[in-house]
Every structure is written in C-alpha cells, then in structure tokens.
Amino acid sequence: MASRNGSLAPRLLPNFARKFRVCTGVLLKHVRPALLLFAVALFSAAAWADGVDPKVIPIKGSGSTPITITSPNPTVNAQAQAPSAANLFCLGAVACVDDVFQNQTGKTLTSITMFFSASLNPGLVFSCGDMSQAVFFDNCNASNVSGGENITLSADGKNGFNGVASATQQCVPDSLVDIGLSLLSPNWCQKLDPDDYKFVGGEFGIEIYGDLAVGQSVTTTAITTPEPAAGLMVFSALAFALLKLARRAA
C-alpha cells in the first residue's frame, strides 16, 4: 500500500499544477482588461475633465454689475455668446460668457471668489483658465465646496498684478448744458443734476469659456467677503477630477 500511494503522487502533482495554471490564466484573462481600464481612467481623468470643462479667468470689461459695501456678493446670470467683433476676447471655440463687475467698495480688491452652484449650472464643472491671458489677478485656485465650485482669483502685487482699484464718483456731463454748468461750479452735478454723479473706473470682467453652447445659461456669485473656513472642503486633484467625471456621467 505504501508503495502504491507513493506512486500516485508523481501523477497527481502535475495534474494539480496544470489545473492551477489554467484557473490562474482564466482569472487573469478576465481581470486584466478591468485593471487596464481602471488604470486608464485613473491617470487620464484629470486631463480629460480639465480639457473640456468651462475655464475662468479675469479680463478687462465695461458695462457692469456693481459690487458695493451693501451688496458685496452679487449674483449674475448670462447666456454664452459666439465670438464676434463685440466679443473679441472670447477664448471659446464655440461660445463664452463675459460677466463684468465694478468695484464700488471704496477699497482695492486683491482677491475675489467666483462661486458656481452645481444646481444652477447642471452638467458643468468649472476650473481655472489660462492665466497667461489674465489681468488684475495672477493666481487662480479651484476648489470643490458644498453645493458647487469656488474659483478664487488673487493678486500677489508682482508684475503689475495689484487687484482691482475701487471706482470713484465723478461728475460726468452728458449734454452741452452740463458742460457749461461744470465750468461754473465744481459740485454742479451733486446740487443740480445728481444723475450725472457716477462711479468711474473699477471695472473688471470674468471670462468663462470652453464646453459651452451658444445661448447656454451660466450663473455665478462674486464673493468679496470672507467665507467661514470651516465651510470649505478641498479635495485632492485626483478626487476633484473623478468627481467631474461622475457629474458628467449623471
């Protein structure tokens, strides 16, 4: 019996090894494509998402929404427009949005946060644009917060990036009569024509471009007062990119 059992081992071991190799090969055959897809998604998520999502940069502008001491965080809604002679700075291949504001706070804005609500901008996730094209602010930081995205623009005081100076109130005559009155009295408009006493300067624009269709609506809030730090939740670059993919697929 001992010799018979001993003679079975050489025959059983090769069969076991052969079955083990077959099972392992079948498992790898099915798992390898899944691992490959996961790796591709993992390493290309950020580049793919950032390549098409709307970008945000600060630009020059005129005709604006006021940012005042009593209304420091205005919300605006605008429709994307195709590039045209009236919209020469549009960086979007198809369309872009130019939101223009005027700093009427009486102080220089060295930073501003643009908040994009996820519910008011369905399907869109916003990020920093090409800051080499920017004016006023030279730093940009994108972060995911409760309810949407924050795009924070700031100036470091270098290379002419000093933020947005406040507008000043001046008499702006709009007729020959007003011009004549202005020669007679330096304070003519405050006394005789208050409508001509206007804010001048302090205007800046926010350009939103990429992944927008003509006529598409974009809503944003310009935040100039500090937000509670505890209310912010910043994710890593990879987590932020994967969140974009999940939103886009929803």
Helical spans, DSSP H, in the chain: 2-52, 176-184, 188-192, 237-249
Q: What is the mean pLDDT of residues 125-146?
A: 94
Check: CB of residue 70 under 8 Å from CB of residue 225. no
Rounded Cα distance between 131 and 153, Å, is 10
Complete edge-to-edge strand list for the sheet that includes strand 217-223: 75-79, 217-223, 111-117, 148-154, 139-145
Q: Is the pTM for the entire model greater than 0.75?
A: no
Rounded Cα distance between 179 and 202, Å, is 24
Angle of helix 2-52 relative to helix 237-249, nearest 10 degrees? 80
Residues ≥6 apart with Cβ < 8 Å to 208: 54, 55, 56, 80, 96, 97, 98, 99, 126, 218, 220
Q: Per residue in 186-211, pLDDT tens? A: 666 766 667 777 899 999 999 999 88
Extract the tokens encoding 200: 């001048």
- What are the CA-CA distances from residue 69 to residues 81, 152, 224, 231 (Å)? 31, 20, 10, 23
Check: CB of residue 149 under 8 Å from CB of residue 143. yes
- Name the band, by pLDDT with cuts 50, 70 and 90, for residue 33: low
Q: Per residue in 84-135, pLDDT tens? A: 877 767 877 789 999 999 999 999 999 999 999 999 999 999 999 999 989 9
Domain range summary for the chain, segments of one domain joined by +: 1-52, 54-167+202-249
Q: Per residue in 34-55, pLDDT tens? A: 555 544 444 444 433 444 589 9
Q: Is 194 exposed, middle or buried (0-12, 13-18, 19+ CB in 10 A)?
A: exposed
